[in-house]
Chain A
Amino acid sequence: QAQLVQSGAGVKKPGTSVKVSCQASGYTFTMQYIHWVRQAPGEGLEWVGWINPNNENTNYAKNFQGRVSMTSDTSINTVYMELNRLTSDDTAAYYCAREFCSGGNCYAVFDVWGQGTMVIVSS
């Protein structure tokens, strides 16, 4: 059974960086893109970007370009998302999510999600 397990919650100071990990199991890690989605407390979902774990090709949402970096380590089936220059607006739960594939086609929708990592930015 496919599963994504994320690193634990944390508190960060404004101006610093956070790096969240997402470890996959139960499927072939390199075959499906991983996306990151965040959700501020009481708010909706915001797409951050995706990474192809096989070759580390990435695409980031405009709102995060220049401030986010996604990487992968195929030896441990793990992807990482690092967000720099944090502000209080970055306080949110960050989710990794796997793209859905069926019948040889893949779609940028998400059938497996991590449990979420709460990042609180506070001085």
Chain B
Amino acid sequence: EIAMTQSPATLSVSPGERATLSCRASQSVGSNLAWYQQKPGQAPRLLLYGASTRATGIPDRFSGSGSGTEFTLTISSLQSEDFAVYYCQQYKDWLRTLTFGGGTKVEIK
């Protein structure tokens, strides 16, 4: 099973600053990597898929990069509504299993 590891667990950022979140896969997942945002009491929201393609309606301050085992989610200028928990998910092996990272909480500094 492919394990996903996110870092850091918590990221303290001031509004307007850049946030960089990392996600590492235990083996190559190609570009089969998605990112989600989750706010308290809500279901997750799809941000990016294919490692770098924004989902419908996602602002361009969210960008993704990477392939293989190392991935990055960048939020270029944090807005108040961006403080949330972010999860990565691999779907290379979707016929057998999907796995999520443990999440990164982006909090106000």
Identify the A interface with B (CB < 8 A): 35, 37, 44-47, 59, 61-62, 95, 97, 100, 107-111, 113-116
Closest 4 CB pairs of A and B: A108-B94, A113-B43, A108-B91, A109-B34
Of A46, A47, A100, which contacts B49 at CB under 8 A?
A100
The residues of B with any CB-CB pair to A shorter than 8 Å are 1, 32, 34, 36, 38, 43-46, 49-50, 55-56, 87, 89, 91, 94-103
Residue pair A62, B1 in contact (C-beta under 8 Å): yes
Which residues from B are CB-within-8-Å of A45?
Answer: 36, 38, 44, 87, 89, 100, 103
Say how far B63's CB is from chain A's closest CB, in angstroms.
Answer: 17
Tell which of B87, B94, B95 has the most Cβ of chain A within 10 Å.
B94
B102 x A44 contact (CB < 8 A): yes
Query: Are A44 and B49 in contact, with the CB atoms below 8 A?
Result: no
Residue among A37, A46, A110, A115 with most chain B CB within 10 A? A110
Residue of A nearest to B100 (CB): A45
Residue in A closest to B97 when the chains form the complex, CB atoms? A61
- Min CB–CB distance B70 → chain A (angstroms): 19
Give A107 to B96 CA distance when docked, in angstroms.
14
The residue on A at minimum CB distance from B38 is A45
Known: A111-B55, A116-B43. 4 other contacts (CB 8 A): A35-B98, A45-B100, A45-B103, A115-B43
Among B1, B38, B49, B103, contact of A109 (Cβ-Cβ < 8 Å)? B49
Q: In whole angstroms, how far apart are the Cα atoms of A8 and B94 in the complex?
A: 28
Do residues B43 and A100 form an inter-chain contact, with CB atoms below 8 A?
Answer: no
List, in ascending order, chain A residues with CB within 8 A of B50's CB. 107
Instruction: Please measure, in the bound complex, the distance between the C-alpha atom of A114 and the C-alpha atom of B44, giving whole angstroms.
Output: 10
Specify which chain A residues have a CB less than 8 angstroms from the CB of B36 in the assembled complex.
45, 110
Interfacial chain B residues near A95, Cβ < 8 Å: 43-44
